[in-house]
Structure formats: C-alpha cells, structure tokens
Structure 1
C-alpha cells in the first residue's frame, strides 16, 4: 500500500477564507509509488506537506506532534487534512477491513483507505479530532490499526550522531526492536549472553572469575564491595550486604546500549553519519515481515552531503522496491538526477506533480529532459521567473543588462536557462498543465527572427555577400517575428529580435553598438570593421566563424570594469534591443 493523495484545508500556507468546502480543498496533490521529490523555492510549502502527513499518520519514532496556532491558515479557526491510501495486498488490507472503501471502475474494483483529521481553535485553545477512516467523516480508526500506518521521518539538519549512540529510547533501539531479529523474542540468545555477563560482573565483586574460582591478581573489586558493605552495616543491621550488577537482562535495555558506527573509522563526519542513519531507517522500512505502510518522509535529503554523495544516495533510493519515499530538497543537483515524473514542484500555494498524467510534455520530451536536464537547468524548478535563451552570448549578457536597467535577477529570483538550441518547448512545457492551471512562473523566451540581411552567392568560385533590399528585409523580419510569436501562449511570451541575430541587433544598437564593434575588433583582429562593419559581420555569421561567446564575455568584462558607470537604461526604447528589456521585465514582474 502507498499514500496516493493528500488534501488540505486551512493548513499552514494552504488556506482560504470562509467555511471549509469539502469539494474545494486548498491543496490537492497526488503521490506516486516509489520516490517522490518535492522541489521548490523557500517557503513554497514543502515542509507543510510533510508535516500534514505526519500529523495524521504519526511516526515510527513516536515524535511529539501537536498543533499550534501557526498551523492554522491566517486567522481561520478550523483546519482539515485528508489522506487516501491505495494499493493494498491481502496481508495489508486485513488490518483495515472495516474501514476500507471500494471504488469501482469499468476495469476493476480498488480498495482505498480514506483518512481524515480535523482541528479547531477557540479562545486560544486547540482541539484536535481523532483520525477517522471512511468516506466523509467516517469512524474513529483504532490505535491498533494506526500502528500499521506510522511513517518513518527524518527531520532536516538531523543530528545523526545523537540517533546512533547508546541512550534511553534511542532511534536505533526502536528500529532494531521492530525487526524480526528481536521482536517478541523472550528466549533471545543475547538475553542469555547478557545474563552470563551480569553474573560475571557479580563474581568480580566477590573476587571470583566467571567459573567461581578466586582471582589471584585482582581483588580490588572485592575490596571495594567490602568497603561499601562495612559502611552500609553502620546504617542498617550488620547482616545487610550489597550486590553490584548491571541492569537486568531486558531486550529493550540491551538494544538501547548498542551503538552503530563504521568499523575502522575514527570520528566520522556528519555526512557519513547521516548516510549511516538513513541506511538504518531504510532497514526499518524494508522489514520483510512488515504488513503495514512503508512510507519514509525525509526533509532536506541533501543535508550534510556533498554533490557526488547526493547522487549516490538518490540513485540508491530510486532502486528501492515496496517502499514509498517523499523527500524535500533545495538541491538542483538532486532535481537534475531524479526523473521528472517523480518530482512535485511546490509554488504559489499549490503543488504540481510532474508525471505524464499532469503535464503537456510528450514522451519524447520526458526522455529529452531526463538526459539533458543538468544542474544549471534544474534551477528553473526553484525560480520565480525564467529567461530561456539560445546560447552563451545571451546567457552571459542578460544578467548584467538586467542589473543595469534596474532588474537584478538574483533579487528577483529569476534564472537564465541556456537551451543551447531552439528547443525552448522542451523546457517551458514543463510548466504547461493538462488541467490548464498556471504554475505562476513568468517565462520569457528570447530568440532571433533569423532573417538574413545579406545574401550569399558564388561568383567565379568565390563567395560574395550582397545586402538585401532594406524594405524587403524589414518586411521579412516583421513577418518572421509575428510567426514565431504565434507559437507561444500567454503563459510563455516570446521576445524576438527584429533583426537577423542578437549580434546584428547589438551592432545596430544605439546604446551598445559602439561597445559591440570595439569588442569585435579586439576579438577578430582581421577585417575592415571600421569602414564596413555590416559586411564583415554578415560574412562571419554566414561562415559561423564569429566567436560569439568570447565577444559576449569581453563585453561583460568591459561593462563590469572599464564602463561600470555606463548608463544603458535607454535600452527600453532602443529599436534593436528593446526585446531584451521587455523579456527581462516580464520574467521579473
């Protein structure tokens, strides 16, 4: 069985004013069997989702979970959480026979367990309901059934060291106590070993070895006990004597005395201990004789792990069978390696599963993204705005242009994604939903109209370049711009260069034209750039010999150093470059 669905009303950031309407949850999100990765910017609601699940199911480590006023949305006085659990096999369903709901379809009949939890506050006091099972409010789910629903939870920035050392009620002892190696074993071999050890302790303080023979070289223990007995005799009757021993042989105490560590390793770091702790929790989730819910909730899975180790861990988790995991992360590194279909993007008080049932991505696009969605591009899952560009030139220039015209991309949480080609749709379709919901990400696509201002002809075995009629050129550019923009929707806006390419626009720019030409002359020393810059640029664009990325880098360097006070605000009305300004403005709005 697995957690299939979560609905929230007025829980944390997921809420609305007025009475709770059961037909309109403030959050409704599906989960997959296997691994689910919750991504999104800070304060997007990832932790709220995990905490809502914990509130209903509780945890195998018996964490103290209690609602407070901050759990209620805004100033509302009532909240509700609903969970749906599916995928039962017979050995699991037997624990909930009276509480299951059978859902019929044309193909099959499926058993579902619907759980609900409500809470209200009044005059500063919070009243929580019991967990109920069934459609609507159902019936109270008894404690013995709830034991089979507890989730395994690892908190963010977890103190793995404290969880692995001997102590009362240690997490390690809890995990081991539930394993068939120790559960309900009153005749366990360790109990006998512990009894023998305890008898050996008592014998030492009697001056004897474990066989009852006198110790010839160590009677200090006996001397210590005799001193205690003499003192005790002064307080009680002289016949009173003491006994020194360890605690009685109980499995719980034996397990609480265990420590899990690495062999031949001295003082391992937090990253290693964190992995060790996660491994022990997965042992708990993977118990072969367990017929309850196998659900792991791990917040900030990347905690204390460097990028390469993150990849090892996530690769291992993706291979797990019969175990459902719901993870939260701020790591683009992890987002780039987990298949997109296993991710849920949290933003704008909602959660968006990225499976094929929910997005307008094609199967081919899923394959493409799983292959080419690297760490840099995965940062789009955490951004409030996106600027998608064709290549390195735009990726280098746009951040400094944005900063100079009053739109700092970092402050506005906007990411520039270099798609390295014209395949913009492979990326922006991630945000296109089958249900038509907007994910609230402002997406700008910057591209060229790609209408050539010069023609190329071979004359006497030589290539010659002739300028196209200016009126014809502008007409073709205008038509190309309209055609390109028509391919995009209101959610994704295209900003098209009304000239041949970005470099052509830079050359003709009233604001950046001089800087561009001076930079090109330094990068490409040969050529008559002073007298006929258009012909020189056209020839290099045709031959694809223009070093675009180096030119862009040098321009950024000049704007950062020699011309750091240069005013480029006039780009807003620059006929050649205003599309760049408009694209940045849209992404930052």
Structure 2
C-alpha cells in the first residue's frame, strides 16, 4: 500500500467541530469549520463565537506555555434553561509528512482516494459533567475530560507525548507584551529560548563560550572586585563569624546571576532596541510586535511538531499601518522561505486586518455559526474575488462586523442614509448597520459576499440601493431656461417601452437572494426622487449652500436660510405647480447638480437639513408624528431599505406624492 505524503506542506488543522460548548449547541447549532493551511481570519461582532472557538482549541490541544485552561459548568451549552451533559471538540489534521505520520501511526485515519492513500489525524476531547448529587465521594470529579483519537468512532486514548506534540502557540487578547518578555521565574522568553536546539550545550560551565561559562566567569570577576570583596570580607569577619555554630563556618559570597541555563534565561528580558532611548519604556504596540515575532521564533524551530499559532485580536495596541505590516509579516511566515510555513488562526475586530487578508481566508462568525468566504462556499465568481482583492479596503471591510449593510453607489447615499435613518427613528449605529459606498463599479460584488452556495443564510440584512437612471422628458426643457439637464439626443422616459423599463429594473435586482434585497429608485436618481416626492425645498437649499465659498458652519447655514427660502418661494410663485408639473419642478431643484454644484457637498447639507428638522421636532416632543410623516413622504425604496436592514416592521404605506414641504 502506497501512502502519499505531502513533503512540501505542513501538517495543519483542517477542520474543527464543536458541539455543546458555550455558544455552540448541537445539530444545526454546532460549529463545523474548515480551515486553510495559511492564514485564517475569523471576523465578527462581539459574542459571535470567536473567543469560544479559541478557548475550545486551547482546551483540546493545549498551549506551549502550559497555561491551565479549566473547564467549568458554564462551558456546557445551555438551551431552554438546561445545560448539556457533555461537550465535544474534534480537531482534524491533514497533510502529514512521513515523520508526522510515524509519530501518530496508531491513531491515523487512512483513506483511499483515486488510487492514492492519504492519512489524517482526528483528535477528540470529550468533557462530561455530573450534578453535585451524582458525585458519590470526595474524589469523584464533577467534570471529567478524555482525549481520544483514531479511525473509528470510539477512538483510542490519546495522551502522553502524542498530545504534548500538538500543543499550540497562543497569544491572548490585550496581552501585556512587556510583562511576557520581562525577566522573571518561568518567563515566556526563557521557555522560548530554552526549547531551541542551539541551547542544548549551553549549560557547560567549563566552556567559556557557553552561557553558563560566561556567567560563571562574570561571578568570579565580580567577587574579586576590590570594593565588593572588602565589604563581603567585613560581613564575614565582623558578623557572620560570630554567628557560626561549632566547626561549620558561616560565610557569604557575591553572585549576580545563576550559572544554570534555566536561571540565566529567566534573568533575560527582551525589549525594542533603541540606542538613543535605551532606558525609555516603549509603547505597547511595539512590544506587542516584538512578542509576536519572538513566538514565531519558537514556531520555526526544528522541535516544533505542530506549527499552529492562535492569535486573538492581533490589532491590539497597533495603529492601522502597523496592522497592515503585521499581516504582511504573517504572510511571509507562510511562504516557506523559513524552515517550514506556519498556520495562523486570527480573531479580529479590525477592518484594516480584514481588508488586507485574502477574502478566501476570511470566515464570518454570526451567532455561533461560521460562514467561510472560500470560493466553494459563496456565489462569488473568480472575477468577483479579483475585484475585491483590489477594492475591498478598510472603509468597506466594516461590512464584516455589521448586523445590516446598506450598499450604495455614491457619496450622496453614503452621507444621506444615516441622517434619514435617524430622522426616521431608526439610527443605523444603534442597530449595527453599516453604509458601504462602492462607487459605480461592482455594487453587487459586495452583496454576493453574503450569499451562500448551500446551507443556512447569514443572519445579516443586506440592501443594495441603485438609481433607475431614466430621466423624465422634462429634463430636456428646464424651467429656468438654462442648459437642459440631459443632452438633446438622450433617451428619456417616453422613449422607453414598458418592457424596457421592466428589464432595466430586473437587471438591478437580479442578484437578490438569501439575505440580499435590491432597492431601485422609482424615477431617476436619489436627489431627483427626493425633489419629486416633495423635498424640492430641501434640495434647493442644499444646492444653494453647496455653492457658497468654503465649508459653512451650522450657524452660517442658519443665517443664510431666510434668504434662500425667500428665493425659493419667489421661484415657486413664478414657476411652481400648478404652472409646472411635479417633474418640471423637481428638475428645477435638481438642475444645479447636473451643472456645477458638487453632489457630495449638496448631500452633506441635505443630511444637515433632515437632522435639523428631526432635532427641532425632538425638542418640541413631536418627533413621533414627524418620523411617521417622513416615512410616508420619502421615496419608498429608501424607507424600505432602512427598515429592512434595521430589522423593523415595514413602514406605513407611502402617501401620494405631494408638493414641497
């Protein structure tokens, strides 16, 4: 029988299954997570299961620093007020090389696939608990742990050196790196250095090049120092001699350091090198990087059977640029340029880290469920992945941590939606909703991230908002007599058949599915639709403010409002309905945005106007009536998208389109 050994790879943790441990239940509620040989980034909001995953791995595998991880009754999953009687944590390792297979030969799973035989190792930790009344004696433990491994369901006891060889490197969140690298008994630094084979013969006192020899020589030289020797002689002759009992002299001698290797290493401290500020304490961030690099020094040693690092919140104490450099450092550890690559499992709340790691290496955690973004799991195409590798930056990666996502194609929506949501009494921040502006390219590439090929949908509400982009006929004949809003040969509303309009809307909604819903403006663009639905005054004022020189303060805006509103009323008296249709008047208010006015600036002042109106009603205690009226008056697609992503019942039916408010 020929077994295929993958000599160029590493034995890596390929699958984790957790049942009835903390947030993870059983059946559909248990965790089943596939991991990659390189970087695996677990992202998600608080209490989604990230730390539970890390603690489960620490329990099942143990850690290099031999930290004690105790199982308590609270670790057993509780459902309907009843705690589970047992939990299991199952870890599967694949890509074993010949030496690794030999080390675990009696526990291997051997499978035949396409004429090739491969082997893997599955280790299971099973914890059982008893109620206090079930314990029969003082030595009857309420919680028992048992490790097993093997090809069959029952497995064999897995303990001793085999278990020891699977211990993993673990870096806890908000770690005190300075304390970890300081000199002390049992320090982490001494553990890392002592396990390197280069220190194997450093305990030889007779070798002047060994650490022990160097420290022995230092002790000898210090004892001969005139001042020290004189003081010790005085201590011996004047004091200790008088305390001697019988013929056994009591005397002292100077020692500055132990001469055993362990004692020497425990006296060492590691710090950031800085010749100019040698004695100055450095920031937590640099110490954190130093600590991470030191741990990888141990992982690259030939005595590291399992090269797996568990790192919680690696962004701790690091500013954004250093976070990106950290990811580049970790990627370098996977390249094979060192002795062997390292598998890394990260948990993070950082959009910077998430945007830097390849999308296929990211897993989203939601309420105890894991959703891998690997190609086989999502509906993303190869082209989508290529696009997102370039354009999924930190400003967009906040979607990985949101309960709801509004994906928009311009800065106007990005600025306006939070203000509109607050005015509707549906604060986006309060409901955990992110607005992601992706520009006019790839709107649906981002929403497809949340759509699965199979299995349950993510518990994330995703709404895409896009313009219908069909100008009204009135855009060619402006009320103000100035340049038309569209080119004379542009296709406007009456140039479209009903079937063409249906197909246009269908093209903007075809990517709906799962948690993703698409919302299309009913007329032309966001700003035009606002004016058409009765907010022409808002748009007129926003455009006038946007044309002022420089950025205005709110006080300056307030001072300009009476004059701008007066000019609007005068224009309304001359041209407004019924002299002009709603579409003509909406075009009049929208016209500056098609000519010289900045859409972004106008959107900023529009957002201020909506917030101003809401604040005024809030001070008067009439915000409830205001939000209800607003929900009925705004373009329905905006209101529905906000209500959907904030997980609230659908808004009241929209009122008939009215005049300006």
Aligned partner of 2:68 among 64, 67, 92: 64
1:90 equivalent in alignment to 2:98: yes
* Cα contact 2:232–2:253 (8 A) shared by 1: no
Partners of 1:199 and 1:431 lie apart in 2 by 69
- Taking the TM superposition and a 5 Å limit, the aligned residue runs for 1:490-509 are 490-509=514-533
CA 1:137–1:244: 2 relative to 1, 3 Å:
farther
- 1:497: how far off? 1.1
Match of 1:331 in 2: 350
Partners of 1:446 and 1:387 lie apart in 2 by 7
For normalisation by structure 2, the TM-score amounts to 0.79
1:252 equivalent in alignment to 2:262: yes
* Cα contact 1:354–1:430 (8 A) shared by 2: yes
Partners of 2:252 and 2:467 lie apart in 1 by 90
Match of 2:191 in 1: 174
Question: More displaced, 216-225 or 175-184?
Answer: 216-225
* Cα contact 1:34–1:324 (8 A) shared by 2: yes
CA 1:468–1:30: 2 relative to 1, 3 Å:
closer
Partner SS for 1:556: helix
- 1:447: how far off? 1.3
* Cα contact 1:2–1:293 (8 A) shared by 2: yes
- 1:469: how far off? 7.0
CA 1:195–1:224: 2 relative to 1, 3 Å:
same
Partners of 2:417 and 2:230 lie apart in 1 by 82
- 1:221: how far off? 2.1
Partners of 2:385 and 2:119 lie apart in 1 by 31
1:445 equivalent in alignment to 2:459: no
CA 1:174–1:549: 2 relative to 1, 3 Å:
same
Match of 2:538 in 1: 515
CA 1:93–1:37: 2 relative to 1, 3 Å:
same
- 1:470: how far off? 7.2
1:278 equivalent in alignment to 2:292: yes
Match of 1:149 in 2: 166
* Cα contact 1:92–1:291 (8 A) shared by 2: no
Match of 2:112 in 1: 104
CA 1:92–1:487: 2 relative to 1, 3 Å:
closer
Aligned partner of 1:569 among 628, 641, 659: 628
Aligned partner of 2:369 among 350, 363, 366: 350
CA 1:44–1:535: 2 relative to 1, 3 Å:
closer
- 1:376: how far off? 1.5
Deviations 1:307-352 (A, max 9, x none): 1111111111111131011111111111111111111111121111
Match of 1:240 in 2: 249
Partners of 1:496 and 1:217 lie apart in 2 by 86
CA 1:160–1:227: 2 relative to 1, 3 Å:
farther
CA 1:455–1:25: 2 relative to 1, 3 Å:
closer
- 1:546: how far off? 4.9
* Cα contact 1:456–1:464 (8 A) shared by 2: no
Match of 2:559 in 1: none
Partners of 2:630 and 2:116 lie apart in 1 by 62
Match of 2:604 in 1: 553
Partner SS for 2:290: helix
- 1:199: how far off? 3.7
- Taking the TM superposition and a 5 Å limit, the aligned residue runs for 1:67-466 are 67-74=71-78, 75-106=83-114, 108-124=116-132, 126-135=142-151, 136-183=153-200, 186-187=203-204, 189-200=210-221, 204=223, 208=224, 215=226, 219-233=230-244, 236-237=245-246, 239-246=248-255, 249-263=259-273, 264=275, 265=278, 266-287=280-301, 289-290=302-303, 292-321=305-334, 322-421=341-440, 423-454=442-473, 464=488
* Cα contact 2:462–2:515 (8 A) shared by 1: yes
Deviations 1:56-111 (A, max 9, x none): 11000000111011211112121011000111112222211111111221163221
- 1:561: how far off? 4.0
Partners of 2:99 and 2:156 lie apart in 1 by 22
CA 1:252–1:123: 2 relative to 1, 3 Å:
same
Question: More displaced, 171-180 or 348-357?
Answer: 348-357
Partner SS for 1:223: helix
CA 1:270–1:539: 2 relative to 1, 3 Å:
closer
Match of 1:8 in 2: 18
1:578 equivalent in alignment to 2:591: no
Partners of 2:331 and 2:493 lie apart in 1 by 59
Query: What is the number of equivalent residue pairs in this alignment?
Result: 565
* Cα contact 1:457–1:465 (8 A) shared by 2: no
CA 1:529–1:232: 2 relative to 1, 3 Å:
farther
Deviations 1:383-418 (A, max 9, x none): 000111111111111101111112111110000111
Partner SS for 1:110: strand
* Cα contact 1:529–1:536 (8 A) shared by 2: no
- 1:183: how far off? 3.5
Partners of 2:375 and 2:490 lie apart in 1 by 50
Partner SS for 2:265: helix
Partners of 1:61 and 1:126 lie apart in 2 by 26
Partners of 1:540 and 1:479 lie apart in 2 by 30
Partners of 2:356 and 2:266 lie apart in 1 by 38
